[in-house]
Amino acid sequence: MRPNNPTSESRPGAALPEPVFHDPKHHIKIFQGDCLEILPQIPEACVDLIFADPPYFLSNDGITCHAGRMVSVNKGAWDRSPGADKMHEFNTQWLAACQRVLKPNGSIWVSGTSHVIHSVGFAMQQLGFKLLNDISWVKPNPPPNLSCRYFTHATETIIWAAKNKKSRHTFHYKAMKQLASGKQMKSVWEIKPPEPWEKRYGKHPTQKPVALLKRILLASSSEGDLILDPLMGAGTTILAALSLRRMAWGIELSGEYVRLALSRIGNQLVFAAISAFSFHIPLDPTAGSVDRSESAMDSPPQTTLIHRERKFFFVGALRREIVFVVVAESLEDAWRDFRESTKSQTPVLSVIKTETEIYLALGT
């Protein structure tokens, strides 16, 4: 488990570490490290909304069903239960750290199954949060229970709480009523699990759908608000915030999941604009009579390829800009040239390939 007491470097007031990703234009910062060490370094009362998806501590060597196959429930060492007391101690620690950085009228959403969510709710009560709602997220097609000794697990609970009893939390009632076809939105939400496109770059074992995070942000935050996810995982909160014009900070311990999140974020952030320049060359150098009847164009003219060029654009991870450009035959060659260049130590977020082909039309 995480340390019980922050080190002197991580006490409130210490400088934040350098983010592994920073996009000033869209106000996005990603920090890699333990949230219990980084949260105390975030300025007090600066965050409008927090979404957190803490470990469910489900990895107990059991089995489940995925895509019609029997698979292990184990997700990693981070998901193994240390026991009820240690689990509750951890939940209390990170929730207290989150409460400190929330603005006076800020609120927090925490998701979980029955294995962890009761500890979260109790810790919130102990810390003086104001409990607002518990949302039942219903999954339309949950995996069957293979043991046939329990009901099929078809829901997760999401607790919504304000910083304290005095908080005047944000709630966009009219927007939620509009989403609910003109009726008050209930606390039971049926939302599909992540779609295939959301796992294009890989997947996190507890990944949340973008649609779920968008609803949460639309309900309880406004454009320009700062959103924080202290247990970022695959970066779904950051993606939802970006699409809804919110500022976003994420904290994630695992380098593997940081890279996954950056791939997903980069897909939204990086746009390659390719301008095509057209040159008009007169085919009739003299003012003579030329037959341009349809019969002359019955078949397309023969062409021959006279030039082909592949360019690779390396986009930086810390600053969203092109840091290296090279003409190469393959991505492997491009990476080799990059490693041999003066930019070789620059962290790379993504590589864009463009290919240009020029054909010459042959006369008949």
Task: Give pLDDT, residue 349.
Answer: 83
Q: How far apart are CA 333 and CA 130, in angstroms?
A: 57
> Mean pLDDT, to the nearest integer, of 329-333?
90
Return the DSSP state at 143.
P
> Mean pLDDT, to the nearest integer, of 100-126?
96
pLDDT, tens digit, for every residue of 208-223? 999 999 999 999 999 9
Task: Give pLDDT, residue 290.
Answer: 41
Return the DSSP state at 24.
T
**Which of 47-61, 243-257, 279-293 has the least mean pLDDT?**
279-293
Q: Are 261 and 233 in contact (CB under 8 A)?
A: yes
Q: Which is nearest to 121 in space by CA: 239, 56, 111?
A: 111
Q: Please tell me whether the overall predicted TM-score, pTM, comes out greater than 0.85 for this model.
A: no
pLDDT, tens digit, for every residue of 258-283? 999 998 888 777 643 333 333 333 43
Q: Are 23 and 84 in contact (CB under 8 A)?
A: no
pLDDT band at 361 (very low <50, low <70, confident <90, very high): low
- Domains of the chain (ranges, CATH numbers): 8-269 (3.40.50.150), 301-361 (no CATH)
pLDDT band at 4 (very low <50, low <70, confident <90, very high): very low
Task: Give pLDDT, residue 142.
Answer: 78
Give pairs for 61-64: CB < 8 Å, separation 24+: 63/146, 64/143, 64/146
> Mean pLDDT, to the nearest integer, of 245-249?
96
pLDDT, tens digit, for every residue of 147-168? 788 888 889 999 999 999 999 9
pLDDT, tens digit, for every residue of 123-144? 999 999 999 999 999 988 877 7
> Mean pLDDT, to the nearest integer, of 18-35?
92
